[in-house]
Structure 1
Amino acid sequence: MAYRAISLFTPKGMLVLGACVVALSSPALCADVEEVGLRPVPVADAPYSFDSAEQHDIRVQVIARGLAHGYSLAFLPGGDALIVERGARLRLLRGATSAKPELLPTAIAGVPDYSVQDHLHPDDVLGIQDIALHPQFASNGLIYFTYNKPITFDAKAGRLTVSSILASARLDGMRLTSVKDIMVGEPVIGAGGSRIQFGADGVVFVSVGALSTGDIMSAQRLDNIYGKVLRLRLDGSIPADNPFFGRKGARAEILTYGHRDPLGLAIDPRSGALIASEHGPQGGDELNHIQPGRNYGWPTSTYGNEYGGSPLPHAPVAPGTQGPMMTWLPAIAPAGIAFYDATRFAHWKNNLFIASARRGQINGTGAIIRVVFNDKLQELRQEVLLDSLHQRFKDIRQGPDGLLYALTDEADSIVVRLAPSAE
């Protein structure tokens, strides 16, 4: 049983949360909303064969298993891969692009570890989140990662305060060294997920989810990093052409605001546009074109409804807010995204692939969503792939070999490789 908060405002300044109504300044105590789903399907090591509307005859094979709640996948230059077990560890998949990958049993040392923490609430998200390689990793060995750090215990709320942080480190064999925090968020209750994407002009983008409880309107304010997409230089300094640079009371790192849970970032290889996937509440998941200074509306604008069930808002794109490129009704729980720009899948060139955890609030319905755009980034069609595996997909990446690799978020997470069957 679980509940998720958030959604619609009433005329009297109240907020409907699942099965309860509370004042905006008060903590919510809501009835649980039952989660339902399909029975898990054991995923075998033997290859699976799938068909696709445009790239026929796909072979899918498990190349690693035994991970705990995978979140992020990043390839090293030689074909190894780093895998984040969310909130816990960083693992190395040796020879990820080879015929016989090996998941090393020992985790990479030096990652901030908060596995033993007093006062931990079930909804607190601590520890490592996303990971990405510096554009010049081959020469400098630098990686960037986000993590949530516990700061103190708020006795009134009965919860930890947590800061979301962007850090850099040097990967030295099986250890991170020279760990340095280069962007630190405000201590808050209810910090969530984050993603990293390097830009082509010496900057790094970081998306940070809105708060899951408490100060829900923080996504609409500029005095904090939550519910935002941020833009920094690689050394952590702030570009002077950021839209809120120099504005009193605003975090100068902010590029856009009004986001709920932007758990995927990617750059379109044709236009250079920054694209973000974003969780709505129940329904209303989004794909957004990130444009400097824009307000994407959360929590006052959404195509979704609340987890307890309620009418849709009357103005899903309020005046002064930026509407999404795409929405999903029912929800697909989107996370990591990747544009395909290699040649091994000739008919998938420039398609966007989205890791989907579940569809329509039904557990066991995760998939990879393939979206075809025209040259103006307008949707032409989309296709659901790998849904028969019944996995919660969390990340998808193009490997250095031009194949696709997907990571799941399960108690026993797996990594699968997609390849043309003819090869």
Structure 2
Amino acid sequence: MKTLALLFFSFFIFNCEAQLKTNDAIPLQEEAVNYRFEAVADGINNPWGMAFLPDGSLLVTEKSGILYHVKNGVKTEVKNVPAVYNRGQGGLMDIELHPDYAKNGWIYMSYSSMEGEGEAGGANTAIIRAKLEDESLVNIEKIYKATPNSKRSHHFGSRITFDNNGFLFFSIGSRGFENENPQDLTRDAGKIYRLNDDGSIPKDNPFVGQANTKEAIYSYGHRNPQGLVKNPFTGAIWEHEHGPQGGDEINIIKKGANYGWQVITYGINYDNSIITNETEKAGMEQPLYYWAPSIAPSGMTFVTSDKYPDWKGYLLVGSLKFQYLELVKLNGDTVIGRKKIATNMGRMRNVKQGPDGYIYMGVEGKGIVKIIPN
């Protein structure tokens, strides 16, 4: 019996190690520190989303439910922000401007909302748009509300971006229902969605006209996407999502594609048990890149600025787990290198390139910090 038990234990460990494999060909390197940091806005405990206004001022969402307008280092609380379900990973999340904001003034926000059907006292991700007048939100319109509500406190997503055609993309996490939501087109959550800017559904969305299907869905099989951005060089929508223990992914979002969670994954459960022995399957997309072990990615931006010649053309991703900013070096759609930026700063919740060409980080416990090259 002892021999059998030992063999079983060895087989279990082998399988766990096989699942939690590392992209050894691309080691993580230390970046030479040729930059300094400047505090832009402090006293923001969890700066989830950032959006720069045309005048150079900054809107920052605080997860607890506060929207700040930061101008010349002074924070003002914006009024009339919807009530949020501030529990676990839920709260006030991303914020993005309409591509034609200078003309129409629309601001888009995501948050965990208790409105709608489902478990009493629960919530799910909602998207609204509104305008800013006299430091208050006005003309608030609901764009989308995921259902059903749940008391589960994790996997709300949620990032927002626009493509070159003016379509609104946003992410909603699985809400913890790993076996039910991501692969089921009749259910919200575990998906990337595409809408027109007014919330209507584009006629060429991949599942329009299919019975018992959420027609706003653009891609599915996602776990908890907390990075979503347009590649400014190609126009493609890039996404990253949290895996479990290992298996965080970078994906290029394709129309109607299935990204596999949790039928396939490069991660394992937090108790080291196996989720699935499959890492690939016909009809399911492979990630452009995956992290194992997990870095807990949050926020992402492409560097286009001449202020950072060694970073230009590459991707920046925040790491919540290891508290650094990761520079993901690219050759087209292929990852060719990785470097640590801004180490030991704190949990990196978000990163954006501002209209002035500088990189801004949202750091938990610190606020907004700018990277200035020497």
Q: Tell me which interval the TM-score lies in, with the shorter structure as reference length.
A: 0.7 to 0.9
Q: Secondary structure of 2:294's partner?
A: coil
Pick closer, same or farther for the CA change 1:392–1:318 going to 2, 3 Å. same
CA contact (8 A) 1:146 1:164 kept: yes
Displacement over 3 Å in runs of 4+: 151-154
CA contact (8 A) 1:87 1:129 kept: no
Q: Secondary structure of 1:283's partner?
A: coil
Q: TM-score, normalised by structure 1?
A: 0.77
**Tell me, which stretches of 5 or more residues in structure 1 are unaligned?**
1-50, 96-100, 359-364
State the distance in 2 between where 1:271 and 1:229 align: 19
State the distance in 2 between where 1:151 and 1:63 align: 34
Of the three residues 382, 385, 389, the one matched with 2:341 is: 385
Q: Secondary structure of 1:368's partner?
A: strand
CA contact (8 A) 1:269 1:350 kept: no
Deviation at 1:281, TM superposition (A): 0.4
State the distance in 2 between where 1:124 and 1:282 align: 17
Of the three residues 367, 372, 376, the one matched with 2:324 is: 367
- 1:323 aligned partner: 286
Q: Deviations over 1:303-333 (max 9, x none)?
A: 1111112247321222321110001011010
Q: How does 1:184-263 map onto structure 2 within 5 Å? A: 184-189=145-150, 190=152, 192-212=156-176, 214=177, 216-263=179-226
- 2:237 aligned partner: 274
Of the three residues 297, 302, 310, the one matched with 1:334 is: 297
- 1:404 aligned partner: 359
- 2:12 aligned partner: none
Asked whether 1:103 is paired with 2:47, we answer no
Aligned residue identity for 1:378: T
Of the three residues 76, 79, 102, the one matched with 2:53 is: 76
Q: Secondary structure of 1:263's partner?
A: strand
State the distance in 2 between where 1:342 and 1:153 align: 45
Asked whether 1:58 is paired with 2:35, we answer yes
Deviation at 1:381, TM superposition (A): 0.5
- 2:259 aligned partner: 296
Asked whether 1:147 is paired with 2:147, we answer no
State the distance in 2 between where 1:251 and 1:311 align: 30
Q: Secondary structure of 1:348's partner?
A: coil
Deviation at 1:251, TM superposition (A): 1.0
State the distance in 2 between where 1:322 and 1:163 align: 26
Deviation at 1:229, TM superposition (A): 0.3
State the distance in 2 between where 1:368 and 1:343 align: 19
State the distance in 2 between where 1:59 and 1:176 align: 35
CA contact (8 A) 1:210 1:219 kept: yes
State the distance in 2 between where 1:173 and 1:403 align: 28
State the distance in 2 between where 1:164 and 1:195 align: 11
CA contact (8 A) 2:163 2:236 kept: no
Output the aligned Cα RMSD. Answer: 2.0
Aligned residue identity for 1:178: N
Deviation at 1:109, TM superposition (A): 0.6
Pick closer, same or farther for the CA change 1:248–1:87 going to 2, 3 Å. farther
State the distance in 1 between where 2:308 and 2:114 align: 43
Q: TM-score, normalised by structure 2?
A: 0.86
Identity, % of aligned positions: 33
Deviation at 1:272, TM superposition (A): 1.5
Aligned residue identity for 1:52: E
CA contact (8 A) 2:182 2:189 kept: yes
State the distance in 1 between where 2:291 and 2:342 align: 18
